[in-house]
Amino acid sequence: MERPHPTGRRMSRLAIRLAVLALAVLSLTRIPYLVIGLWSRVSRRGPRSVFFCYAGSREFVASYGLGRTADLFRWQPSPIGILSQGGEWGIVLASPVTERDFLDPANRVLFGRLLDRISLIARLSGAREINLAGILPGAVAGAFPIKARDGRPLVIRALTEAIATISATRFAGSRPPVILFGGAGRIGRALRQAPDMANSVVHVVDPADGASASLSDLRRELAAGPVLLVDLSRKGALAASADQLWPGCVVLNETFPRPSRALVARLAGRGVEVWHLSGLAGRVWPELPHGYEDAVPCCAAHEAGPDTQVRLVRLDIAPRDHPRTSGSSVS
């Protein structure tokens, strides 16, 4: 397949940024959401969901923003695309805030206003549910009145399917010991309790939890044998611990953004294979950057029926634009 010309890619990215900027300005009013809501009532084909994601990296901001104009909308949820999954569609909102921003108590009022705006957008547009990305569900639970869907069941189903697929293809069908890296969080706790994990030996390593085991301790305990490490941690945690991994480890990454090429190359040099769970089969237009090609993030997905495909990508250091992709049904 012929690759797009670099000039064409640059023009496409510029067009996306200009369109997002225009939508961001328009979305400061209620007009676009009132129009969608009116169309929803008339056609009965309105959005099922409003999905809000945030800046996992500066590269994410650069994919949508035009220089300093992004900072003008720092606490304003702006539309950046449309998703389609499970036979229904949704509105994708984003803001150039980071985890540090919304976890900072000094920003509580601004964060609350952002969440209120998301709720308002959902009501005006006729969306039936609100889905939040990353650690936001845990950050808002019990602290803010926003009524967001608990997306953990879909994430857990996708993770257990991905674990089963990797076990079958990379561990000759046997269940390897599993390390939940960042396993003390909401997703890690739910994954440990999943019935599909009952036959796995599970170890928890969490850089944010001093009571959990360390990778160095597990390396000795497991005699540096084959192991599947499921990365549920925050950005940067895996890179900080990469030198503690050993040959025969397989990493399954569920976090955003996916591991960089530099980190994948660094791990490959240690004999460690890296896979990325992109999400569930679906489309986001324009595509979300850094690991979500032909997929909708699990936290944004609407459902996972028997025919829903899990998008699982093996991250190679080459070729750049064609990672190996595996699709398996969620059962």
Q: State residue 326's pLDDT score.
A: 60
DSSP E strands, the chain: 49-54, 78-85, 88-95, 129-132, 178-181, 202-205, 227-231, 249-253, 273-281, 283-285, 295-296, 309-314, 324-329
DSSP reduced 3-state for 146: coil
Between strands 273-281 and 178-181, the pairing is unpaired
pLDDT digits 0-9 by tens, 77-101: 988 889 999 999 999 998 888 888 8
Quote the pLDDT of residue 64. Answer: 56
- pLDDT score for 299: 92
- What pLDDT score does 2 carry? 46
Question: Is there a contact between 48 and 302 (Cβ–Cβ < 8 Å)?
Answer: yes
Q: What is the pLDDT of residue 114?
A: 95
- DSSP label at 326? E
Q: Which of the residues in the chain have pLDDT under 70?
A: 1-14, 16-17, 20, 56-70, 210-212, 318-331
pLDDT the model gives residue 205: 93
Could you tell me which residues are beta bridge partners of residue 283? 84
Q: Whole-model pTM?
A: 0.86
